[in-house]
Amino acid sequence: MFFPNHGDIFAPCEAVVEFIFPTRHALGLRHASGLEMLIHVGIDTVQLEGQGFEVLVKEGQSVQAGERLLKADLDFLQKNGKNTATMLVFTNLEEKPLMEWKKRGTITHEDTVAIIR
């Protein structure tokens, strides 16, 4: 889980956009290795029905590590009582070996946070 200090959400690695939730608060990615990821912006943000979010990619699009995926209006989320905690969930990690953490704490979109072996 991370807490963005601005509204830009970036691709964690080279991947294909598998799906975008209709409410624009979450999207799914698939790496060429088969690793699947879900990026979910905020808690209970689905209730905003897409308000406060702008998706910058399309389903089926290939993206590079560090490419902007979506923008969230963090002030709007907070004014509407939503926590801005953002999750990156590996949905099929059990099929992959150990994850090695490279960095914790304050990060930028250019940092390598973890390596999946």
% helix / strand / coil in the chain, to the nearest 5? 10, 40, 50
Domain extent listing, the chain: 8-116
For residues 14 and 2, give the distance between their C-alpha atoms in angstroms, rounded to a whole number: 20
The pLDDT value recorded for residue 96 is: 57
Q: What's domain 8-116's superfamily in CATH?
A: Glucose Permease (Domain IIA) (2.70.70.10)
The pLDDT value recorded for residue 66 is: 92
| CB of 37 closer than 8 Å to CB of 5 | no
Catalytic residue among 6, 25, 40, 109: 40
Point out the least confidently predicted range of 9-23, 32-46, 68-82, 92-106. Answer: 92-106
Say whether 109 is catalytic: no
pLDDT tens track for 18-76: 999 999 999 999 998 888 999 999 999 999 999 999 999 999 999 999 999 999 999 99
